[in-house]
Amino acid sequence: MTITIVFFLGFLAALIGVIPPGLLNMTAAKISLKEGHVRGIMFSVGACVTVFFQTYVAAIFAKYITNHSEIVEILQRVAFVIFVLITIYFLFVAKKQPKQTVDLKVKSKHSRFFQGILLSALNILPIPYQAYMTITLASFGWLLLDKINIVTYVSGAVMGTFAMLYMYIFFFDKIRGKTVFTTQKNMNYIIGGITGIISIITLVNIIKEL
């Protein structure tokens, strides 16, 4: 795979991972609405600094466990079950209430930057998510786990995360202005559809290895 494709894969994986409304993207949007886009972007940049290290750790971990096929097989099956459950939840169970964010009264741009680093560090879910995505891409031969490819993938993941935070910042007014039920329902369908696709890809990969 070329460096460009590896970068795009990292970008897409991270973009999908940040789509669900959560602490980071909703806080970025809220900061932007209350204090302006600049501070919202500073918060996002801080969050992406942590994402860089989280994704790098995940890729190194993935590189290690790919040498142990029995671990990879177990993780694939666990991930398949998790993604199926997430798909079912968002398509059929998820409640239509928007998540609330903590109102942290921090005003300076530098404080928002470090707040982004801190809140992103408290969110450890990207590590197992990126480890799984890296293993899956490597199993398909789409990603080589050498230094150049890992750094390229991580860089793409950082840009993908920032892009989604950026979209939350500048389009949250339009999202918030619509009917809450309709907006949240559509978001649940999008997330459920994405995780459903990932579940199918994982199942195909498991079947191929049987």
d(C-alpha 29, C-alpha 12), whole Å: 21
Q: How many other CB atoms are there within 10 angstroms of residue 208's CB atom? A: 9
pLDDT in tens, 22-73: 778 888 888 887 887 888 899 999 999 999 999 999 888 888 777 666 666 6
Is 193's pLDDT higher than 60?
A: yes
Poorest-pLDDT segment among 26-35, 50-59, 83-92, 111-120: 83-92
The owner of tokens 């080589």 is: 144
Is 21's pLDDT higher than 80?
A: no
Banded model confidence at residue 180, pLDDT cuts 50, 70, 90? very low
Closest CA to 136 of 74, 70, 205: 205
d(C-alpha 94, C-alpha 72), whole Å: 30
Q: Is 124 helix (H, G, I), strand (E, B) or coil?
A: coil
Closest CA to 37 of 45, 53, 103: 45
Q: Give the percent of the chain with pLDDT over 70.
A: 69
| Alpha carbon of residue 100 to chain centroid | 19
* pLDDT at res. 197: 76
Banded model confidence at residue 3, pLDDT cuts 50, 70, 90? confident
State which H helix or E strand residue 127 sits in.
helix 126-139
More confident residue, 168 or 80: 168
d(C-alpha 175, C-alpha 66), whole Å: 41
Axis-axis angle for helices 126-139, 69-88 (nearest 10): 120
Is 132's pLDDT higher than 70?
A: yes
Look up the pTM and report it: 0.68
More confident residue, 172 or 142: 142
d(C-alpha 10, C-alpha 20), whole Å: 17
Question: Is 135 within 8 Å of 75 (Cβ atoms)?
Answer: yes
* pLDDT at res. 121: 85
More confident residue, 210 or 129: 129
